[in-house]
Amino acid sequence: MTLRPFRALLSLMSPYFHLRAVPPSALRNSATWLQRLFEDDWDTVRRRIDRHREEMLDHHYVDHDTLYAGAPPHRAEEGPRTHVVLGGRPIPHHAPEAPPFLLLTAAQTARVAAFLTSTDIETLWHQARNHLLPRYGGPTTEQETHTLITATHRDLTAFYQQTSEYGDAVVKCLLR
């Protein structure tokens, strides 16, 4: 599945995009195992994989992908920028109508962490602001929109940085 149809499918579906850190030794290449990973509560996940870190993005996750990967038609080349939100190797869901899980290896996670910690959020904001502001109510909401984007950037940076420090992979799932 290419990323373009996947992005279109995501924009029509769930309001939440869930990212979970998983030690490579605990990771299973099984849709059933991945589904259970996202259905289980925090304590169950912590017991099963020995630690727990996660990030949840609300219905604006496609906008955050636009911030990092570039506003259409100027999308960034494949790499850390495109992996922050919607990037990763697709692992088909056991339900054919469901979007695939996405997997970033520990090495890809480290590259994303390096990108996020070294990037200038203000530069990204200025590149994407004209594309994003209309979705949030236009110029009158710029301060609130900028604050939301900046706060999410901080949260994603912290998540990827800590995940990278542990040497973990990241699995992503769209929650309905």
DSSP string, 50-98: S---EEEE-TTHHHHHHHHH-STTSPPPSSHHHHSSS-SEEE--SSTTS
Residue of 171, 153, 75 whose CA lies nearest to 117: 153
d(C-alpha 22, C-alpha 168), whole Å: 5
What are 58-116's pLDDT values in tens digits? Answer: 888 989 999 999 877 777 788 899 999 999 999 998 888 888 999 999 999 999 999 99
pLDDT tens digits, residue range 34-58? 888 887 666 666 665 555 588 888 8
Does the pLDDT value for residue 1 go beyond 50?
no
pLDDT digits (tens, 9 = 90+) for 143-172: 999 999 999 999 999 999 999 999 999 999
Q: Which residues contact 144 (CB under 8 A, 6 or more apart)?
A: 136
Residues near 101 by Cβ (< 8 Å), separated by ≥ 6? 31, 34, 90, 91, 93, 171, 172, 173
Q: Where are the domains of the chain?
A: 3-175
Quick one: which of 79, 78, 139, 72 has its CA closest to 108?
79
CATH number at 3-175:
3.40.1760.10
Contact 24, 167 (CB under 8 A): yes
- What is the Cβ-side half-sphere exposure of residue 116, based on CA atoms within 13 angstroms? 28
pLDDT in tens, 117-148: 999 999 999 999 999 999 999 999 999 999 99
